Amino acid sequence: MSGTTPEISAEGAVIPRDIADDAAGRRPRRPRRNKYRPVWEEKPSAVGQVTKFVVLSVVVLAVLFPLWTVVVTSLSTTQETISAGGLVVVPGDLTFNAYKQILSGGVVTRAAIVSVGITAVGTFISVVVSVLAAYGLSRPGSFGHRPILFVFLITMFFGAGMIPTYLLVSSLNLIDTYWALILPGAVSAFNVLILRNFFMGIDQAILDAARIDGAGEWRVLAKIVLPMSRAVVAVIALFYGVGYWNAFFNAMLYINDNAKWPLQLVLRSYVLQGVTLPGSGTGQVDVGTGAVTGMPIKMAVMILAIVPILVVYPFVQRHFTKGVIFGAVKG
C-alpha cells in the first residue's frame, strides 16, 4: 500500500489515516500529498515526478516571467532601465512615477477612459440583450422558436465578411463614433447558446410553480432564472467584457480620429511601434530631470491594459469550466 498508511480497526476494516486520527483524538497529521491517489494507482517513479515538476514549472514560468519583467520595468526609474539595457528583471529603485505621469491626463488617460466606457456600456448592452434572447429561446413553445434559433446558428457558421460590414458601418455614419465599437459585435450567437443551454437545464417545475403563483415571464426571468444563473452570466459578461476591452481591429477600422482611440490602439502606436507619446516622452530618453521616460512609461501602459482583467479574473475564473462546457454542447 502506497501513500497514507491506513489503520486497521478492531473490526478489520481499513480506516483512512485522517479519520482514524480524528476518532482517536490525535492531532491530525498534515495531509500527505498523495492522499487523493486512488488505491489501485501505482506510485509514480522519481524520474516521472521530476520530469512532471520541471515541465509544469517551465509552463508556469513562461506565463509569469514576462509579466514579472513588465511589472518591474514599469516600476523602475529610467536610469535603471538604461543600465539594464531595456527590461529590468531584478528590481532596483522602484517608483510609481511612470503611472503618475500616464494617469495625470493626456493621451493614455483619455484612451483608458474611452476603453473603460466602451467596455462598461458594451458589456451591459451585450449581456442584457443576450440574456433576453437566451431566455426567449429556452422556452420550448415560444413563438418562432425554431426559425429564430436557426437565425442565430447561421451566424456562427457563415460570417458576412469584413468589407460589407465596413461599408454598412460607414453608411450608417458610425465611423469615428464609439457605437461602431459596440453595435457590430454586440450579440454573439455562441454566448447566447451557452446561456440558453444553461437556462434549459433549470428545473422546469420551479418555473411552473412561479407561473402558477402568477409570475409573468419577466418576473420569472428576473426573480428566479437570473439568481440561479449568476455564475454563467458572470462568465458571459467576462467574455463580452474582455472582447470589448481587447478590441483592436474594430477600433483600427472604424476610429480614425486619434483623440477617440481606445487603449489598445494607443498601445500599438506608442508601445509596439514606438511612436513618441506626446507629452510623456516614450521615445526620447531624458535622464536627470526626475521625470520617468522611455521603457517604464511603455511598460506602465501595458500594465494599464492588463490590470482590469486581473481585477475581474479571480472572481469569475472558477466558473470558466461551466461556461466552456455549456458552450461545447450546442443545440
Partner 1 sequence: MTVPAVALLAVFAYVPMLGNIIAWQSYSPYQGFLHSPFVGWDNFERVFNNPAFLHAVENTLTITVFQLVFFFPVPIFLALLLNSVISPRIRTTIQSIVYLPHFFSWVLVVTIFQQIFGGAGLINQTLRSNGLDGSVDLMTNPDTFLVLITSQAIWKDAGWGIIIFLAALSTVSPELYEASVVDGANRWRRMWHVTLPALRPVIVLLLILRLGDALTVGFEQLILQRDAVGADVSEVIDTYVYYQGVIYGDWSFAAAAGLVKGVVSLALVLGANKLAHVFGESGVYKRA
How far apart are CB 268 and partner 1 at their closest, in Å? Answer: 5
Task: State which residue, 187 or 200, has the beta carbon closest to partner 1.
Answer: 187
Q: Which of residues 115-154 bind partner 1 (CB under 8 A)?
A: 128-130, 132-133, 135-137, 144, 148, 151-153
Task: State which residue, 99 or 326, has the beta carbon closest to partner 1.
Answer: 326
Query: In angstroms, rounded to a whole number, what is the distance separating the alpha carbons of residues 4 and 1?
Result: 8
Q: Which of residues 280-319 bind partner 1 (CB under 8 A)?
A: 299, 302, 305-306, 309, 313-314, 317-318
Q: Distance between alpha carbon 165 and the CA centroid of its chain, in Å?
A: 27
Query: In angstroms, rounded to a whole number, what is the distance separating the alpha carbons of residues 221 and 227?
Result: 9
Residue 212 in the binding site for partner 1 (CB under 8 A): no
Residue 159 in the binding site for partner 1 (CB under 8 A): yes
CB under 8 A: which stretch of 86-94, 97-105, 201-209, 277-285 binds partner 1? 86-94
Tell me the three state secondary structure of residue 216: coil
Query: In angstroms, rounded to a whole number, what is the distance separating the alpha carbons of residues 312 and 321?
Result: 16
How far apart are CB 42 and partner 1 at their closest, in Å? Answer: 6
Q: Which of residues 215-244 bind partner 1 (CB under 8 A)?
A: 217, 221, 242
Query: In angstroms, rounded to a whole number, what is the distance separating the alpha carbons of residues 245 and 308?
Result: 9
Q: Which of 165, 175, 228, 291 binds partner 1 (CB under 8 A)?
A: 165
Please give the grid coordinates belonging to residue 56: 509544469
Residue 50 in the binding site for partner 1 (CB under 8 A): no
Task: State which residue, 69 or 101, has the beta carbon closest to partner 1.
Answer: 69
Query: In angstroms, rounded to a whole number, what is the distance separating the alpha carbons of residues 46 and 19?
Result: 29
Query: In angstroms, rounded to a whole number, what is the distance separating the alpha carbons of residues 48 and 54?
Result: 10
> Residue 14: beta bridge partners?
8
Query: In angstroms, rounded to a whole number, what is the distance separating the alpha carbons of residues 43 and 37?
Result: 9
Task: State which residue, 20 or 316, has the beta carbon closest to partner 1.
Answer: 316
Q: Which of 4, 69, 76, 97 binds partner 1 (CB under 8 A)?
A: 69
Considering only the C-alpha atoms of the chain, give the largest distance between any 2 of them, rounded to a whole number of Å: 84
CA distances from 43 to 2, 7, 56, 57, 233 (A): 7, 19, 19, 21, 41
Task: State which residue, 23 or 325, has the beta carbon closest to partner 1.
Answer: 325
Q: Which of 108, 127, 189, 300 binds partner 1 (CB under 8 A)?
A: 189
Q: Which of 28, 164, 279, 290 binds partner 1 (CB under 8 A)?
A: 164
Please give the grid coordinates belonging to residue 33: 500529498
How far apart are CB 135 and partner 1 at their closest, in Å? Answer: 6
